[in-house]
Chains A and B, each alone.
Chain A
Amino acid sequence: MLSHAEASENFIADADRTDWHDETLWFVREKRDKVSKVLSEWEALREHASQIKDHTLANLGEYLQAFEAKAQANGITVHWAADAAEHNAIVHDIIAAQGSKILVKSKSMLTEECHLNDYLASKGIEVVDTDLGERIVQFRNEAPSHIVLPAIHLKKEDVGETFHQFLGTPKGNKDPQFLTEAARQHLRGHFLASEVAITGVNFAVAETGEFVVCTNEGNADMGAHLAKVHIACMGIEKIIPKRADLASFLRLLARSATGQLITTYTSHFHQPREGQEIHIVLLDNGRTRQLADPKYKNSLKCIRCAACFNTCPVYRRSGGHSYHQPVAGPIGSILAPNIDKKANVDLPFASTLCGSCTNVCPVKINIHEQLWFWRQDLMEAGLAPVGKTIGMKLMAFVLSNPVIYRIGGSLLRRFAGILNTRLNPWYKQREMPVAPQESFQEWYNKR
């Protein structure tokens, strides 16, 4: 697996595509700016939502149990999964009881986190992703590169080529309307035939036992309304206390995600209709571990709007796949090390700590500070690349001793020229600073 830095270098090698990717996502950030700035209460709304989440996380167990009781009373079957394997096994059992070999699934980053599609494929069950972007990347055997815009790394030409290959659209046709229509016709058959539909969950309301799914394509509804069995998969952090709290979160979510005032479809699933089953799977998968650590606890406030992706100058120029995790971007970089420190040791370093993510976040997660904390924890866990620990300790030694610092500085300035080599990553595309004759201290001592 390539590190973030290596994968980014490959991404940037195509300069035109990088510029296009950067500008496309910046356009989304600007749309978000426009709709957030017409609300005079925007900052108060962020604070309010942040406090609701803080409160909920502080009482998570109670709210989850309240939700379970209400949902069960409403006729929904509630399942608890400690980790991805349990989650996948639960989902498989439900499907197997139904006897389905193919099913539809709307967008769920949680099922990406659990690698559910691969698991079900290994059991002989085909999952058809019905979100347009997800269907595109699924055809291409790729992972989503963005949690809201899964195929944002692809241009319409790429989609045309993929649809030509998998849906038989005319070669060279890259007309978005035409291609979307082809996808609709293709997906319609699957919606009509599927006995089982899987959806994600944006919010689950403890007060009422309902859950809310937000989409722009209506694909979650098409799946859930036509299937006999609806399986909703959610992380335990998606709980909110009251239905009234949605008034804050729905306003923040759509504005932050795409600059819309509200998602096109905001569907509340309350109870199964006659003859239908609704199952909800509540997944932990490391979330309670994160909850127990005061440094990282509030990463669980995330509502998956991806505003931090769109604003991140690193993400825009490196693409989602460079993060090698289902959730990329700044938020992914603070979530992933909780699951696997070693595999994700590069991610908290894929940031300049500019702080834009923290300030764009609708629920006020201190993302850049958590990146900093993860850097400390990962290095303390002994996961530094070869040579880094020695280099850092040497640097700390030199910089702690004024005499050695002065000698070192003087040598560095005198022999700065030897750093003008391609082996020096700075020098690859930048000139080194011109070394002055005198340091400031030397000048000052003669003053």
Chain B
Amino acid sequence: MRVALFVPCYIDQFYPQVAVASLELLEKLGCEVVVPTDQTCCGQPMANSGFASSTEGCDANFSQNFEGFDYIVGPSGSCVLHVKEHHPSEKIRNSVYEICEFLTDVLKVSSLNAHFPHRVGLHQSCHGQRGLQLSSMSERNEKHFSKIEDLLALVGGIEVVLPVRVDECCGFGGTFCVTEEAVSVKMGQDRIKEHNANAVSYIVGVDTSCLMHMEGILRRQGSKVQVKHIVEILNHA
């Protein structure tokens, strides 16, 4: 299966290991992975700041890079959701997948050669969870499901623990993290407090932006807890 890897800009620049793990994992699972090298940003930072009118350039560049692909796969719930909801091309909107949903829904992965013998706290990133419906949500009266937990269950040695408030937002929120700095940090600190109470060694999520925010707080606190994008764990042999 031919797959185009969509690497969000901040992952490209600051978290290349997440893109590397995505690439390796997809290849391990038998995909022919193409990385369009002129890709930049999906336009989400501008759009969520009220400047969707300024994203034409990003949309056009995204189209140029990803036009011919039936499967555009990215390791970021919020960027994928943005493309899915707002990209002008219907073909692209229908072809873009967050990597977990691609693994469970398209590749239908039922086993993985992955091992991660640690106690891991699961952070539900909102755009993946509520936007892309990667898992059921606490607000709704619906049957529990989680594509994320299903994938983590395939990893050897891992122990996944949920915080008390299973799906509260971490407070990143794009430019919210700086324009509403006080609330943003407080929300992140509160999430971390719950993960700390569970004595986890890692916090795992499907959105590197949430993890970047929590990592910033953890490091300022001098914590030993680390953050990992889910693909880093699924690709961890």
Chain A residues near B (Cβ < 8 Å)? 4-5, 8-9, 12, 18, 22, 26, 33, 36-37, 39-40, 42-43, 311, 313-314, 317-318, 348-356, 358-360, 372, 375-376, 378-380, 384, 388-389, 392-393, 395-397, 399-402, 405, 409, 412-413, 424-426, 428-436, 438-441, 443-445
Contact = CB atoms under 8 A, between A and B. Distances in A.
B9 A405 contact: yes
A397 B169 CA distance: 30
A379 B47 CA distance: 11
B58 A396 contact: yes
B178 A352 contact: no
Contacts of A440: 7, 11-12, 16, 19-20
A352 B13 contact: no
Given A5-B180, A396-B55, A431 B220 contact: yes
B11 to A, nearest CB: 7
Interface stretch (B35-43, B92-100, B197-205): B35-43
B224 interface: no
Nearest to A22: B190
Contact of B45 (A348, A395, A434): A395
B141 A388 contact: no
B45 to A, nearest CB: 7
A313 B171 contact: yes
Given A318-B183, A399-B58, A430-B220, A409 B12 contact: yes
Report whether over half of chain B's contact residues are helix, strand or loop; otherwise say mixed. Answer: helix
7 contacts: A352-B184, A352-B187, A354-B126, A376-B53, A399-B58, A431-B215, A444-B37
B176 A376 contact: no
B14 A375 contact: no
Interface of B: 7, 9, 11-17, 19-20, 23, 35, 37-41, 43, 45-58, 60-61, 126-127, 130-131, 137-142, 165, 167-169, 171-174, 176-188, 190, 212-213, 215-217, 219-220
A26 B165 contact: yes
Given A395-B45, A405-B41, A431-B216, A9 B182 contact: yes
B107 to A, nearest CB: 22
Given A392-B46, A440-B11, 14 more contacts: A318-B183, A354-B173, A356-B139, A359-B140, A360-B139, A376-B47, A396-B58, A400-B40, A430-B185, A431-B216, A432-B216, A433-B216, A440-B12, A441-B35
A8 B187 CA distance: 12
A409 B131 contact: no
Contact of A402 (B40, B176, B219): B40
Contacts of A426: 177-178, 181, 216
Report whether over half of chain A's contact residues are helix, strand or loop; otherwise say mixed. Answer: helix
Contacts, number: 210
A399 B43 contact: yes
A372 B47 CA distance: 8
Contacts of B52: 376
B139 A351 contact: no
Contacts of A445: 37
Given A409-B9, A438-B16, A396 B46 contact: yes
Contacts of A438: 16
B9, B40, B185: residue with the most chain A Cβ atoms closer than 10 Å:
B40
Contact of B186 (A18, A40, A348, A360): A18
Contact of A8 (B12, B137, B177, B180): B180
A389 B141 CA distance: 42
A98 to B, nearest CB: 46
B183 A314 contact: yes
Nearest to B22: A440
Given A431-B216, A432-B216, A439 B41 contact: no
Given A354-B169, A413-B14, A439-B16, A5 B40 contact: no
Contacts of A388: 49
A37 B138 CA distance: 10
A157 B221 CA distance: 33
Contacts of A18: 186
A352 B126 contact: yes
A142 B35 CA distance: 58
B20, B49, B165, B220: residue with the most chain A Cβ atoms closer than 10 Å:
B49
A395 B46 contact: yes
A430 B138 CA distance: 29
Given A356-B126, A400-B58, A433-B215, A379 B183 contact: no
Contacts of A39: 141
B13 A412 contact: yes
Contacts of B53: 376, 379-380
Nearest to B86: A372
A396 B57 contact: yes
Nearest to A434: B14
Given A352-B126, A400-B60, A440-B7, A12 B220 contact: no
Contacts of B11: 440
A22 B183 CA distance: 12
Contacts of B141: 36-37, 39-40, 42-43
Contacts of B47: 372, 376
B58 to A, nearest CB: 5
Contact of B38 (A318, A402, A412): A402
Given A399-B58, A400-B58, A430 B213 contact: yes
A441 B12 contact: yes
Contact of B14 (A359, A384, A436): A436
A65 to B, nearest CB: 37
Contact of B16 (A355, A360, A397, A443): A443
B13 A317 contact: no
Given A8-B180, A400-B40, A355 B140 contact: no
A302 to B, nearest CB: 16
Nearest to A36: B141
A12 B51 contact: no
